[in-house]
Protein backbone atom coordinates (compact mmCIF):
# COMPACT_ATOMS: atom_id res chain seq x y z
CA UNK A 1 0.00 0.00 0.00
CA UNK A 2 1.39 3.36 -1.02
CA UNK A 3 1.04 5.60 1.99
CA UNK A 4 1.04 9.34 1.84
CA UNK A 5 3.13 9.37 5.03
CA UNK A 6 3.83 7.31 8.15
CA UNK A 7 1.91 9.73 10.40
CA UNK A 8 -0.69 7.69 12.36
CA UNK A 9 -3.40 10.27 11.60
CA UNK A 10 -2.67 10.03 7.89
CA UNK A 11 -2.64 6.21 8.19
CA UNK A 12 -6.07 5.96 9.80
CA UNK A 13 -7.49 8.37 7.24
CA UNK A 14 -6.30 6.10 4.45
CA UNK A 15 -8.29 3.27 6.05
CA UNK A 16 -11.40 5.10 7.25
CA UNK A 17 -11.11 8.53 5.63
CA UNK A 18 -14.26 7.92 3.66
CA UNK A 19 -17.41 9.33 5.23
CA UNK A 20 -19.50 6.26 4.50
CA UNK A 21 -16.97 3.93 6.11
CA UNK A 22 -17.21 5.78 9.41
CA UNK A 23 -21.02 5.94 9.23
CA UNK A 24 -21.16 2.19 8.60
CA UNK A 25 -18.81 1.58 11.54
CA UNK A 26 -21.18 3.74 13.63
CA UNK A 27 -24.08 1.54 12.51
CA UNK A 28 -22.23 -1.66 13.44
CA UNK A 29 -20.58 -0.48 16.68
CA UNK A 30 -23.32 1.64 18.23
CA UNK A 31 -26.62 1.02 16.47
CA UNK A 32 -26.55 -2.77 16.47
CA UNK A 33 -26.98 -2.96 12.70
CA UNK A 34 -25.32 -5.88 10.97
CA UNK A 35 -27.18 -6.61 7.75
CA UNK A 36 -27.10 -5.10 4.29
CA UNK A 37 -30.74 -3.92 4.38
CA UNK A 38 -30.23 -2.37 7.83
CA UNK A 39 -27.34 -0.26 6.53
CA UNK A 40 -29.36 0.68 3.48
CA UNK A 41 -32.13 2.01 5.74
CA UNK A 42 -29.88 4.35 7.75
CA UNK A 43 -31.11 7.97 7.61
CA UNK A 44 -28.12 9.19 5.56
CA UNK A 45 -29.41 7.25 2.57
CA UNK A 46 -26.38 5.37 1.26
CA UNK A 47 -26.93 3.97 -2.24
CA UNK A 48 -26.71 0.23 -2.79
CA UNK A 49 -23.69 0.38 -5.09
CA UNK A 50 -21.72 2.55 -2.64
CA UNK A 51 -22.76 0.27 0.23
CA UNK A 52 -21.60 -2.86 -1.59
CA UNK A 53 -18.30 -1.22 -2.44
CA UNK A 54 -17.65 0.07 1.09
CA UNK A 55 -18.50 -3.22 2.82
CA UNK A 56 -16.05 -4.96 0.50
CA UNK A 57 -13.34 -2.37 1.24
CA UNK A 58 -13.97 -2.55 4.98
CA UNK A 59 -13.66 -6.32 4.92
CA UNK A 60 -10.46 -6.04 2.89
CA UNK A 61 -9.07 -3.48 5.38
CA UNK A 62 -9.82 -5.85 8.25
CA UNK A 63 -12.38 -3.61 9.97
CA UNK A 64 -15.29 -6.04 9.62
CA UNK A 65 -15.94 -9.68 8.88
CA UNK A 66 -19.01 -11.31 7.42
CA UNK A 67 -20.73 -14.57 8.23
CA UNK A 68 -23.73 -16.09 6.44
CA UNK A 69 -26.97 -15.93 8.43
CA UNK A 70 -30.22 -17.84 8.52
CA UNK A 71 -29.03 -20.51 6.11
CA UNK A 72 -29.01 -17.96 3.31
CA UNK A 73 -25.92 -18.65 1.28
CA UNK A 74 -25.70 -15.09 -0.03
CA UNK A 75 -26.94 -13.15 3.01
CA UNK A 76 -24.39 -12.01 5.50
CA UNK A 77 -24.15 -10.50 8.94
CA UNK A 78 -21.32 -7.98 9.28
CA UNK A 79 -19.51 -7.59 12.61
CA UNK A 80 -16.54 -5.52 13.72
CA UNK A 81 -13.13 -7.12 14.16
CA UNK A 82 -10.84 -5.94 16.99
CA UNK A 83 -9.39 -3.41 14.54
CA UNK A 84 -12.93 -2.18 13.87
CA UNK A 85 -13.91 -2.19 17.56
CA UNK A 86 -10.93 0.06 18.23
CA UNK A 87 -12.64 2.80 16.21
CA UNK A 88 -15.14 3.30 19.05
CA UNK A 89 -13.10 6.06 20.76
CA UNK A 90 -12.74 7.86 17.41
CA UNK A 91 -16.50 7.78 16.81
CA UNK A 92 -17.20 8.79 20.41
CA UNK A 93 -14.89 11.80 20.10
CA UNK A 94 -16.62 12.70 16.81
CA UNK A 95 -20.02 12.40 18.44
CA UNK A 96 -18.98 14.69 21.32
CA UNK A 97 -17.80 17.31 18.81
CA UNK A 98 -21.00 16.93 16.80
CA UNK A 99 -23.25 17.44 19.80
CA UNK A 100 -21.34 20.60 20.74
CA UNK A 101 -20.94 22.20 17.32
CA UNK A 102 -23.68 20.91 15.00
CA UNK A 103 -26.98 22.62 15.60
CA UNK A 104 -29.84 20.28 16.47
CA UNK A 105 -27.68 17.15 16.46
CA UNK A 106 -29.81 14.30 17.72
CA UNK A 107 -29.25 10.95 19.38
CA UNK A 108 -30.27 7.86 17.40
CA UNK A 109 -33.32 7.51 19.71
CA UNK A 110 -34.40 11.02 18.82
CA UNK A 111 -33.85 10.41 15.11
CA UNK A 112 -35.39 6.98 14.84
CA UNK A 113 -37.18 6.35 18.09
CA UNK A 114 -34.92 3.34 18.65
CA UNK A 115 -31.28 2.22 18.82
CA UNK A 116 -28.54 3.04 21.25
CA UNK A 117 -26.88 6.34 21.98
CA UNK A 118 -23.49 6.82 20.28
Are 51 and 36 within 8 A, CB to CB?
yes
The upper half-sphere exposure of residue 23, i.e. CA atoms within 13 Å in the direction of its Cβ, equals 16
Q: What is the DSSP letter of 67?
A: E
Are 23 and 42 within 8 A, CB to CB?
yes
| Of 48, 50, 52, 98, the one binding its own copies by CB under 8 A | 98
Nearer to its own copies, 51 or 94 (CB): 94
Is residue 45 close enough to count as binding its own copies by CB under 8 A? yes
Site residues (CB under 8 A) for its own copies? Answer: 4-15, 17, 19, 22-23, 26, 42-45, 83, 86-87, 89-102, 104-106, 108, 110-111, 118
Amino acid sequence: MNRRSDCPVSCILEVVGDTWTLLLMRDILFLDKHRYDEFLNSPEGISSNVLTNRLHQMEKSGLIEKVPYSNHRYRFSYTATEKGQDLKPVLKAMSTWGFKHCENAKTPEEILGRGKNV
